[in-house]
Chain A
Amino acid sequence: MKLYEYQAKTVFSEHQIPTPKRILIEREDTSIHFEEVGYPCVVKAQVLSGGRGKRGLIQVVHNEKDANLQIKRLFEIEPSMKHLLIEEAIHIDKEIYVSITVDAPSGKAVLIASESGGVEIENLAVEHPELILKEEIDLSYGLMPHQARHIAYQMNLSTNQTKAMIQILMNLYQVFIKYDAELVEINPLFATKEDTLVAGDGKIMIDDNSMFRQPRFAQQEADYSSEAAYEASVEGIPFIQFDGDIGLMCAGAGLTTTVYDLIHYEGGTVANYLEFGGPNYKKAVKAMEICLKVPSKVILIVTFGTIARADVMAEGIVEAISKLKPDRPIVTCIRGTNEAHAVELLRKAGLTPLFDTEEAVRTAVRLAKGETL
Chain B
Amino acid sequence: MSIFIDQKTNVCVQGITGSEGSFWTKHMMDLGTHVVCGATPGKEGQLVEGVPVYHSVKNAMKHHKIDATMLFVPPKMTKDAVFEALDAGIKKIVTIADGIPLHEMMDIRVRALEEKAFVVGGNTSGVISPKEAMMGSFPHWIERVYKKGSVGVMTRSGSLTNEVTAMIVEAGYGVSSLIGVGGDPVPGARFAEFLPLFEADPETNAVVIIGELGGTMEEEVAEAMMNGTFTKPLVAFLGGRTAPKGQKMGHAGAIITGGKGSVQHKIEVLEKAGAKVADRPRKVGKLLEELGVIKK
- CB-CB contacts of A281-308 with B at 8 A, as 1s and 0s? 0000000000000000000000111111
**B contacts with A, residue count (CB < 8 A):** 64
Is A207 an interface position by the 8 A CB rule?
yes
- CB-CB contacts of B186-225 with A at 8 A, as 1s and 0s? 1100100000000000000000001011011000100000
Is A177 an interface position by the 8 A CB rule?
yes
Is B227 an interface position by the 8 A CB rule?
no
CB-based contact B109/A107 at 8 Å: yes
Is B98 an interface position by the 8 A CB rule?
yes
CB-based contact B216/A104 at 8 Å: yes
> Which of chain B's residues has its CB closest to A303's CB?
B159
Tell me, in angstroms, the Cα distance from A213 to B104 when the chains sit together: 13
Interface of A is mostly: mixed
Is A138 an interface position by the 8 A CB rule?
yes
Given A260-B243, A273-B249, A337-B142: A304 and B159 interface contact (C-beta under 8 Å): yes
Q: Which of A80-88, A193-201, A251-259, A344-352 contacts B (4 or more CB under 8 A)?
A: A251-259
> Which of chain A's residues has its CB closest to B259's CB?
A126
Q: Closest CB-CB distance, A183 to chain B, in whole Å?
A: 9
Tell me, in angstroms, the Cα distance from A53 to B51 when the chains sit together: 63
Given A106-B109, A107-B186, A182-B102: A209 and B246 interface contact (C-beta under 8 Å): no
> Which of chain B's residues has its CB closest to A207's CB?
B102
Q: Which of A243-272 contact B (CB under 8 A)?
A: 250-258, 260-262, 264-265
Is B258 an interface position by the 8 A CB rule?
yes
Is A277 an interface position by the 8 A CB rule?
yes
Q: Which of A139, A262, A307 is close to B110, meaning CB atoms less than 8 Å apart?
A: A139
- CB-CB contacts of A101-138 with B at 8 A, as 1s and 0s? 01011111100000000000010011000000000001
Tell me, in angstroms, the Cα distance from A358 to B283 when the chains sit together: 11
Q: Which of B126-175 contact A (CB under 8 A)?
A: 137-139, 142, 155-163, 166
Chain B residues with CB under 8 A of A251: 159
Chain A residues with CB under 8 A of B142: 336-337, 339
Tell me, in angstroms, the Cα distance from A113 to B112 when the chains sit together: 28
Is B103 an interface position by the 8 A CB rule?
yes
Q: Which of B103, B215, B254 has the most CB of A within 10 A?
A: B103
Is B108 an interface position by the 8 A CB rule?
yes
Known: A106-B110, A126-B259, A258-B240. 9 other contacts (CB 8 A): A104-B216, A104-B253, A125-B258, A139-B103, A209-B100, A254-B159, A258-B163, A265-B279, A358-B280
Which residues of A approach B to under 8 Å, CB–CB? 49-50, 102, 104-109, 122, 125-126, 138-140, 177, 180, 182, 207-210, 212-213, 240, 242, 250-258, 260-262, 264-265, 273, 277-279, 303-308, 335-337, 339, 357-358
Which residues of B approach A to under 8 Å, CB–CB? 20, 75-76, 98-103, 105-110, 112-113, 125, 137-139, 142, 155-163, 166, 183-187, 190, 210, 212-213, 215-216, 220, 239-244, 246-247, 249-254, 258-259, 279-282
